[in-house]
Amino acid sequence: MSQVHKVIIIGSGPAGYTAALYTSRALLKPLLFAGYASGGQLMLTSDVENYPGYPEGIMGPEIMSDFRKQAEKFGTEIVDKDVSSVDLSSRPFKVTVEGEDFFSESIIISTGAEARWLGSENEDQYKGRGISTCATCDGAFFKDKEVIVIGGGDSAMEEATFLTRFASKVTIIHRRERLRASQIMSLRARENPKIDWKLNTSIKSWTGSDNILTGAVLTNTKDNTDSNLSFDGAFIAIGHQPITGFLENQLDVDNHGYILNKINTMTSVNGVFACGDVVDTRYRQAITAAGMGCMAAIDCERWLEEN
Ligand code: NAP
């Protein structure tokens, strides 16, 4: 067997990097698999205004670059590859990355969550051909065009407000009358003259020509009537799902696939800890993920000491 690490961290958002910062300062020499798309969801965010310590706000990729540098400063080894599978059935645990096996006495999972899709008719056909889940990535393609944003949460409000920088008109489509978004985010969107609203409305199917999206058939969720809407682009912002596929059901999860922690941040397998959006169905903030990364690192360090 090759070298056995003290701790392997899987995932590189605020939770993973904070766990790396704490475990490296505890001299545990963490090995962190950051994934090809390292940095997590903040890499797809423009202005971060609610991370304490940045009164002027900071760009998402910039703060993640700082998180990474701080973890590296204390000796975290970072590999920008995706973990394909883990074997948690015996210790040391095995982590497989592109056919290569790594072994560790403990694991901290912080793989976060990824954007959900609607699953409406024809969606697959127009993914990346007019339908996106990331305004920060694709918004600039829609300069002076009309776009829609689907969702009623903070993400939808944020994406819609951001898209008004480029688009001539942004229509928010939400399946209920009431928004789920916070007051401040809703108000900001409501006060934006470029934003229009279609509440009590869902997407029945997507329409297009020559494989390029041109609109959708909408359904009024109150009276079930259909109507057509033409636009140039659509941004789906209906929340996220946890990234746990590589675990192959080796840990207890809830009905939605989020990892269930048993004692503090320890999962159903002793020595395996989880933190951030992969466990968090309630707060899902960068600051709470970072806080949980710190908790997982401390729990992990104490568990290693005791075992
Ligand atoms: P969310 O709060 O779960 O909201 C998802 C929205 O999508 C809801 O309005 C929901 O409708 C709708 N939705 C879900 N499934 C749908 C479907 N199949 N068809 C149509 N609509 C659907 O998710 P989020 O907006 O991504 O926010 C997640 C967390 O991140 C929240 O805690 C939020 O506060 C936080 N966040 C914060 C900021 C910020 O402060 N800057 C920015 C973004 C996100 P219903 O309301 O009917 O359920």
Q: Return the number of other C-beta atoms located less than 10 Å from residue 63's C-beta.
A: 21
Angle of helix 286-306 relative to helix 14-25, nearest 10 degrees? 40
Domains of the chain: 4-114+241-306 (3.50.50.60), 117-236 (3.50.50.60)
Active site residue 138: yes
Active site residue 137: yes
* CB-CB contact of 64 with 43 (8 Å): yes
Euclidean distance between CA atoms 256 and 267, whole angstroms: 16
pLDDT value of position 39: 92
pLDDT value of position 1: 59
For atom 13 of ligand 1, the residue with the nearest CA is 238
Local structure of 229: helix, strand or coil: strand
Which atom of ligand 1 is the closest one to the Cα of 240? 26
277 close to ligand 1 (CB < 6 Angstrom)? no
Contacts of 58 (CB under 8 A, 6+ apart): 47, 48, 51
Active site residue 134: yes
Residues 16-27 have pLDDT tens digits of: 999 999 999 999
Angle of helix 154-163 relative to helix 183-190, nearest 10 degrees? 30
pLDDT value of position 72: 98
Look up the pTM and report it: 0.80
Low-confidence ranges of the chain (pLDDT < 70): 1
Q: Out of 82, 87, 134, 196, which one is annotated catalytic?
A: 134
153 close to ligand 1 (CB < 6 Angstrom)? yes
* CB-CB contact of 107 with 265 (8 Å): no
Among 48, 117, 123, 154, residue to substitute to test ligand 1 (most atoms within 8 Å of Cβ): 154
In angstroms, what is the span from residue 153 Cα to ligand 1's centroid? 4
In angstroms, what is the span from residue 191 Cα to ligand 1's centroid? 20
176 close to ligand 1 (CB < 6 Angstrom)? yes
Which atom of ligand 1 is the closest one to the Cα of 119? 18
* CB-CB contact of 262 with 253 (8 Å): no
Which atom of ligand 1 is the closest one to the Cα of 202? 20
Calculate ∠ Cα 199-235-213, nearest 5°.
100
239 close to ligand 1 (CB < 6 Angstrom)? yes
Q: Out of 66, 80, 124, 137, which one is annotated catalytic?
A: 137
pLDDT value of position 2: 77
CA distances from 286 to 16, 41, 166, 201, 213 (A): 11, 9, 26, 30, 33
Among 136, 161, 180, residue to substitute to test ligand 1 (most atoms within 8 Å of Cβ): 180
pLDDT value of position 281: 87
pLDDT value of position 104: 98
Local structure of 270: helix, strand or coil: coil
pLDDT value of position 84: 97
